[in-house]
């Protein structure tokens, strides 16, 4: 198994774990963490793609690295916004869950 395959599989495993967590856990904080896990997996995959130098046949392709950095910033901002909302929800209601206020028709 080459390095790239190993990294790729690790990335895929992270995405799988995160997806599982996002679907199974009802608590918003865990969902936010799971989202970051998927993000980590996606960025790892992107790193592998860069290592393969897919577009130019180089040793390393710089484009994915630039995109990963942008992606990290976006994911960081998303996490910050989600945690801020959750904190505010906790201040308002004293709990950090979404379940009890389900207003199903």
Provide, rounded to whole angstroms, the least separation between the CB of residue 64 and other proteins. 6
Interface pick for other proteins out of 2, 3, 59, 92 (rule CB under 8 A): 92
Residue 27 found at the interface with other proteins (CB under 8 A): no
Helical H segments across the chain, by residue range: 3-24, 28-52, 62-93
Distance between CA atoms of 33 and 86, rounded to whole angstroms? Answer: 13
Q: Applying CB under 8 A, which of residues 1, 33, 39, 69 lies at the interface with other proteins?
A: 39
Compute how many residues bind other proteins; rule: CB under 8 A.
40
What separation in angstroms does the CA of 23 have from each of 6, 40, 89? 26, 17, 21
Residues that bind other proteins (CB under 8 A): 15, 22, 28, 31-32, 35, 38-39, 41-42, 45-46, 48-49, 52, 54-56, 61, 63-64, 67, 70-71, 74-75, 77-78, 81-82, 85-86, 88-89, 92-93, 98, 101, 103, 105
């Amino acid at each position: 198994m080459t390095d790239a395959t190993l990294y790729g599989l690790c990335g895929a495993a992270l995405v799988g774990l995160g997806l599982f967590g996002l679907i199974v856990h009802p608590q918003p904080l865990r969902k936010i963490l799971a989202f970051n896990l998927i993000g980590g997996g996606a960025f790892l995959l992107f790193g592998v793609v860069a290592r393969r130098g897919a577009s130019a046949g180089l040793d390393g392709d710089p484009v994915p690295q630039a995109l990963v950095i942008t992606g990290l910033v976006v994911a960081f901002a998303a996490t910050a916004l989600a945690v801020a909302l959750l904190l505010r929800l906790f201040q308002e209601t004293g709990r950090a869950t979404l379940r009890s206020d389900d207003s199903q028709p």
